[in-house]
Amino acid sequence: MCDNVSIGGVRLDAKETIKALLEASEDGTITAEQVTQAGLHRSVLQELVKSGELYRFGRGLYVRSGIWEDELYLLQRKYGRGIYSMETALYLHGYSDRAPAQYTMTFPKGYNTPSLKQENVTIKWVQQLNYPLGIIEIPSPCGNPIRVYDLERTLCDLLRGSGGDIQIINPAMKRYVVSKERDIHKLLQYAQQLRVQPKVQRYLEILL
């Protein structure tokens, strides 16, 4: 590893190289892998954390101090297989006024990392077959791209098991059936695959 590198023919010391990489980053983040690829020793990241110029968000992920922290985006950068789901997804779709006190993320069965249990996250696991169903990308409230389950998948998920909180589901279903963006065919397809078709049909019979 070297203490300085050349960018555009100009020699930069390690800290200046990190700053250049951060300025080129749209979200104010930098990874340990990027630093290694730039020919620098990762210890420079620790120096910048100690000086307060960076803070460590997770293993190998660092964020520039002083920027507006987008927790939804950074959490998903940290746990790339996690998809925002359930009440969190409903809120992000604008179908719930309840801001989640704890985010819910869904992971494929078999995925596990010890640090995940230390996060302020409700964890759901699903079969590999159902994991990709309805994944879409939307902007976070701060404008960064995050992955969530689409509205139809979210409504089906909320009806699985004991049926969830009716004070959340009932208003969401009522709003959905009168929405111009509704896709009843897709909703029923998802309901069949996720084994909640009777519950979904019951709502549709009442509300349509």
User: Which amino acid is residue 193, in one-letter code?
Assistant: Q
- Which of 46, 64, 82 lies at the terminal end of a domain, its last residue? 64
DSSP-derived letter for residue 69 is P
Average pLDDT rounded to a whole number, residues 39-52: 84
Residues 178, 80 share a domain = yes
Among 101, 61, 54, which residue's Cα sits nearest to residue 80?
A: 61
Residue 149's pLDDT band (cuts 50, 70, 90): very high
Can you give the pLDDT at residue 197?
96
Please write the tens of the pLDDT for every residue from 93-144: 999 998 888 999 999 998 877 788 888 899 999 999 999 999 999 999 888 8
Q: Mean pLDDT across the stretch 35-48?
A: 85
Are 11 and 89 found together in one domain?
no
The verdict on 45 and 82 lying in the same domain is no
Residue 24, burial from CB neighbour count under 10 angstroms (0-12, 13-18, 19+): exposed
Per-residue model confidence (pLDDT) at position 11: 35
Please check whether residues 92 and 179 belong to one and the same domain: yes
Residues 48 and 101 both lie in one domain: no
Domain range for residue 25? 4-64
What pLDDT, on the 0 to 100 scale, is given for residue 35? 85
Please report which confidence band the pLDDT of residue 9 belongs to, taking 50, 70 and 90 as the band edges: very low
Q: Do 21 and 58 reside in the same domain of the chain? A: yes
The predicted pLDDT at position 20 comes to: 84
For position 53, which CATH number holds? 1.10.10
Closest of 16, 20, 14 to residue 1, by C-alpha:
14
- pLDDT in the model for residue 4: 46
Number of domains in the chain: 2
Residues 149 and 185 grouped into a single domain: yes
